[in-house]
Amino acid sequence: MQGKSKVTGQRDDLLRCIDAATQKHKPAKEPKPLEVLEVDWTFPAAMTRLVDGDTQEFQADAGFHTDRVITMRLLGVNCPETKGSSRPAGLAASEFSRQWYETHTDLVIQTRKDVRHSTDAFRRYLVTVEGQCLTTGIRENLAQSLLGAHHAVPFMVEA
């Protein structure tokens, strides 16, 4: 009987890391689905730096010839961290996000007016990110794509 191939073993290790990382971040109560989270502001933006799977830096067009570079976190999802025991899963989530940005154009970020819910504990703006897929021409949401690819779990957002 032969052992597992190197690729199968690596995939199994990655799945174990993702599972372990997501177990730590299970919400205490059922999160609101992303499609019902309300947004108040929409800005054209360009991603300037990928921090990790759910945190990016954007240059946002605030209007009136005003651009601003801001670190933002995806609203409603949590990706594994790129440090510690979840590193392999975190790096996979980061790579997924990087590829998503390479294949999407006409990016917009959306955030909420309510300051109690517009930033997180690290004072990063909480946003949704949408872009038009270069392959299909369909507008897609990065958080939904991360969830669909199992690189993120729903993250509690209180109303």
Quote the tokens at residue 120. 């997180």
**For residues 61 and 42, what is the distance between their CA atoms, to the nearest angstrom?**
10
Q: What is the pLDDT of residues 101-121, one digit of tens each?
A: 999 999 999 886 555 556 666
Q: What are phi and psi of 50, to 5 degrees?
A: -95, 115
**For residues 50 and 67, what is the distance between their CA atoms, to the nearest angstrom?**
18
What is the chain's pLDDT, residue by residue, as a tens digit (159 residues)?
Answer: 455 555 455 556 655 655 655 555 444 444 444 544 566 778 899 999 999 999 999 998 877 888 889 889 898 899 999 999 999 999 999 999 999 999 999 999 988 655 555 666 666 778 899 999 999 999 999 999 999 999 999 986 554
Amino acid at site 99: Q
Whether 152 and 54 have beta carbons less than 8 Å apart is answered as: yes
What are the domain boundaries of the chain?
6-154
Cα angle 124-99-144, degrees, rounded to a multiple of 5: 60
CATH class of 6-154: mainly beta
Using CA atoms of 85, 86, 89, 90 in order, give the dihedral in degrees to the nearest 10: -130
